[in-house]
A and B are shown apart, each in its own frame.
Chain A
Amino acid sequence: MTDHAHDSRTGHVVSPLILIGTLAALLVLTFATVAITWVDLGAFALWAAMIIATVKATLVVLFFMHMWWDKPIIPIVFITSLLLVALFVGLSLTDTGQWLPSQIPGYAPGIEGNSTP
């Protein structure tokens, strides 16, 4: 049996530089996550936090979890789960959005337009 020197039977071996680079990027983005709360972004604040979190998650999945070098079935499995999550949360929130303002006056005072009975 022939064994490639760097690609053993255990698969592709990641270069330590890539791992260190990913770590550095993650730490910078963590600082960014906290830093954006120092600026008043209003309604965009939640979006900004989620975008940064998703970038971090992508880095972890692609490089720490090795997906960059994996066979296609792996990303297919993972992305399918993400699509199901999007369906789950997305549809629940559309339902929330439709019921919320009109039903019980004053029940959710934090929502704009809901304080008038």
Chain B
Amino acid sequence: MSEHHSDHPAYLGHHYDTPEQQFDSGKLGMWLFLATEVLLFAGLFCAYAVYRAHHPEIFKYSAQFLDTKLGGINTVVLITSSFTMAMAVRSAQLGKKQITAGLLALTLLGGVGFMAIKKVEYEQKWKHGLLWGTLYQPEEHGGEHGGEHGGEHGEAEEHSFLDRIAGISRAVAQQTDHGSDTHANETATDDHAVDSHATDVDPVVAAETAESSGGSGAFERTILPSAAKSPEGLADTTHAHAEEASPENVHLFFGIYFLMTGLHGIHVIAGMIAIGWVLRRTLRGDFSKEYSTPVDLVGLYWHIVDLVWIYLFPLLYLID
């Protein structure tokens, strides 16, 4: 079908016959991508479901470490930013440049606020050693970090990422050498206790020896417990928060927590970049009543990000 040049405006790709076709194609393409995003997060939700089905005691116990208030604020922030985004799409369709730019900026602000609260939450986790896998080194309630450390430094900031990694590789090396956990770590502590530098002393190993509760924090091979060793008693303490009867393998929860919220956070950042791009194009005057599809499509992406959080919030923060 041949078209006069005037019928083919600048924003219309040459492979499209009409703007309506381009718009519909864009929408369909974005929704197909969002379907893949849903399935991406579904994988993590599946991991959550399986682990929670296997070990509800871990999830019940770990719920106390998540701040419901901050999570709730983040939910409100994202929902409101979804609203401002939907309003921005609307005003872009009506060709209102300034209002669109303002609403997009507000949406961006929502994203910034969300990431700021996320940063605060992650910092708290880091400070208290509530991390994934072998980095899970919860501090004693008195605020001490292992035998040697408590008095010297008083705060947790010396547990740099490299320190922890160094400690873990040492622990792993010893584990494979000696084949048993506690003895190996005690040896390591003796070796390193002499060096009292923050960078040399092994906070990870020290914390492990200081931990008396079974398994939490110590790097163990996945050992299937015999009936005699099984934490049967914990089955009765599901309501005993105060008793601090920590179940084994709490690091599983935090692995899932950081993976899910981390991947979601990456998506928020990507969304913020996309909104910034569309905001710039709006200010540049790229959009009009005839053409505002990019705003629409970025809006769809942002709403999916909100949608994922709508499910993350109750599953992670509101466990009992």
Q: Do A and B come from one complex?
A: yes
Residue contact B31 to A84, C-beta cutoff 8 Å: no
Q: Is the interface of B mostly helix, strand, loop or mixed?
A: helix
Residues of B contacting A8 in the complex (Cβ-Cβ under 8 angstroms): 93-94, 289-290
List, in ascending order, chain A residues with CB within 8 A of B300's CB. Answer: 65-66
From A9, A16, A37, give the contact of B320 (CB < 8 A): A37
Q: Which residues of B contact A114 (CB under 8 A)?
A: 235
Query: Is residue B270 contacting chain A, with contact meaning CB distance below 8 A?
Result: no
> Counting chain B CB atoms within 10 Å of each CB, which of A23, A45, A82 scores highest?
A23
Bin chain A's interface residue count.
Answer: 35 or more
> Known contacts A109-B57, A109-B230, A110-B238; is A49 also within 8 Å of B45 by CB?
no
Partner of A23, one of B83, B230, B231, B235: B83
Instruction: Give bound CA distance, A33 to B311, whole Å.
Output: 11
Q: Are A85 and B38 in contact (CB under 8 A)?
A: yes
B56 touches A111 (CB 8 A): yes
Partner of B27, one of A56, A63, A74: A74
Kindly supply a per-residue 1/0 record for chain A positions 1-42, scoring 1 wherever the CB is within 8 Å of any chain B CB and 0 otherwise. 101000011110110100110110011001001100100000
* A115: interface (CB < 8 Å): yes
Q: What residues of chain B have their CB less than 8 Å away from a CB belonging to chain A?
A: 7, 19-20, 23-24, 27-28, 31-32, 34-36, 38-39, 42-43, 45-46, 49-50, 53-58, 60, 68, 72, 75-76, 79-80, 82-83, 85-87, 89-90, 92-94, 224-225, 227, 230-232, 234-235, 238, 247, 289-293, 296, 299-300, 303-304, 306-307, 310-311, 313-315, 318, 320
Report yes or no: A100 in contact with B54, Cβ–Cβ below 8 A: yes
Evaluate contact between B311 and A19: CB separation under 8 angstroms.
no
B291 partner residues in chain A, CB cutoff 8 A: 9-10
CB-based nearest A residue for B37: A81
Minimal Cβ-Cβ distance residue in A for B41: A85
Which residues of A in the span 51-110 have a Cβ within 8 Å of any Cβ on B?
52-53, 56-57, 60-61, 63-66, 70-71, 73-74, 77-78, 80-82, 84-85, 88-89, 92-93, 96-97, 100, 104-110
Q: For residue A30, which residue of chain B has the nearest CB?
A: B75
* CA of A102 to CA of B262, assembled, Å: 35
- Cβ-defined contact, A106 with B34, below 8 A: no
Which of B42, B238, B292, B314 lies in contact with A50, CB distance below 8 A?
Answer: B314
Q: Which residues of A contact B75 (CB under 8 A)?
A: 30, 33
Do A30 and B49 touch (CB < 8 A)?
A: no
Known: A8-B289, A16-B90. 13 other contacts (CB 8 A): A11-B93, A23-B83, A50-B311, A64-B82, A81-B34, A88-B46, A100-B53, A106-B225, A106-B232, A109-B230, A109-B234, A110-B235, A115-B235
Is the CB–CB distance between B83 and A96 below 8 Å?
no
Query: In angstroms, how far is the closest chain B Cβ from the Cβ of A90?
Result: 9
Are the C-beta atoms of B35 and A108 separated by less than 8 Å?
no
User: Using Cβ atoms and an 8 Å threshold, which residues of chain A touch B85?
Assistant: 64
List A residues at the B interface (Cβ < 8 Å): 1, 3, 8-11, 13-14, 16, 19-20, 22-23, 26-27, 30, 33-34, 37, 45, 49-50, 52-53, 56-57, 60-61, 63-66, 70-71, 73-74, 77-78, 80-82, 84-85, 88-89, 92-93, 96-97, 100, 104-111, 114-115, 117
Query: Complex Cα distance A73/B29, Å?
Result: 11
The listed residue (B7, B23, B42) touching A89 by CB distance below 8 A is B42
Provide a sorted-by-A list of 19 A–B residue pairs whose CB atoms are within 8 angstroms: A9-B290, A10-B290, A10-B296, A22-B86, A23-B79, A23-B83, A30-B75, A30-B79, A34-B318, A73-B28, A88-B42, A88-B46, A89-B49, A93-B53, A96-B54, A100-B54, A107-B230, A108-B55, A110-B238
Q: Are A19 and B83 in contact (CB under 8 A)?
A: yes
Per CB-CB distance, the 10 closest pairs between chain A and chain B, nearest first, are: A106-B230, A110-B57, A117-B227, A81-B35, A49-B314, A110-B56, A85-B42, A109-B235, A23-B83, A9-B19
Minimum CB–CB distance from B246 to chain A (whole Å) comes to 13
Out of A1, A63, A84, A100, which one reaches B39, CB within 8 Å? A84
